Chains A and B, each alone.
Chain A
Amino acid sequence: MESRYNPAKNVFIDSIEIDDYIALDSSVASYKQLLHSIEKPLKMILVFGRPGTGKSILLNYLYENLKYQKDIHYFATPTTNEKEFFHKIFKVITKKDLPSNTRVNFSTLVDYCRDIHGKREIIILLDEAQMYSPEMMERIRLLSDTRSVKFIIALHKTDKEDLIAKEHFQSRIWEVVELNNGTIEDIKNYIHKKLLKKNIFEIANAIKNNHVSLIYKFTKGNYRETNKLLFTVFEICEYYDNKNKDSNDETIFSKKIIEMASIKLGFINV
């Protein structure tokens, strides 16, 4: 028989699936800000934040919500090969495939974008933009200057990427949506909403404020770290649940398990 902790564990598998999107006050505010920015005549919008603050899921959520209303395209995985990347861009803009043995004539592509200005408004969501080379970024800027293509770029907030952002986009980006780690209240709501969304009421109720405080202490409100920690927590709970099947122990989820998971993940150095 499957442990009752198994579904709870699967809830915290880190993903950017729209089903996993949790509408917290802070994330709803960021989403609204992004929607509002899209309506403005901007060339580039930067979604900026430390890893694990929800940039990818926000882009995906936006894409899923607007894909039937707007000419919107989501590039989840960065293509470091320039030829391949512009093949994809070419297809999005012209809606035609290029033979694989040909190269995109970039100036022709820019001219094409100028021609469609006012007729189409293409939105391209670029995740993990720190992976693109400065040359590719420069070409992206040239395309956005035609005002036919609007780029929404998700970028990690580290010192290095901060520099890239300054150098390549500061003068061209008109809007920045910054995502931060959650507060303790955000983390509490995040955990509970995630479990309740999958109808795991019993375990959601077992997670009290002191547990959330401990989780927050280790993850510092980072959503990815929270997912990782809770996945490991429920994995350990599953082990004890299977071990003591007959005892029907309701108190497996405890601070002890959170600390054990934190040791496992290196949050605690023994």
Chain B
Amino acid sequence: MTIKVKVRNAETGSTVDMEMENENTMSEIVQGAAGYWKKEAGAYVLRRGKKLLRGSQTVLEVGLKDDDEVELIPDPEGGYRAPPF
């Protein structure tokens, strides 16, 4: 089943709607969103509310539903890329 989830860019506040299937993983959402916003190479994570979502978790496992929102946030590594803010 295809659902539509809003992904928010924590650095800019902008959002994009992303279609996904139950078997899509959080890693795929990270890659899709980081690519859409042309993020610099670096590490990012997804949060939903107060939970950090693991890369291997699927849409079904996380329980994402139509119109839910997740947020893409940089995972500071210290010493690699340009500042996100």
State yes or no: do A and B come from one complex: no
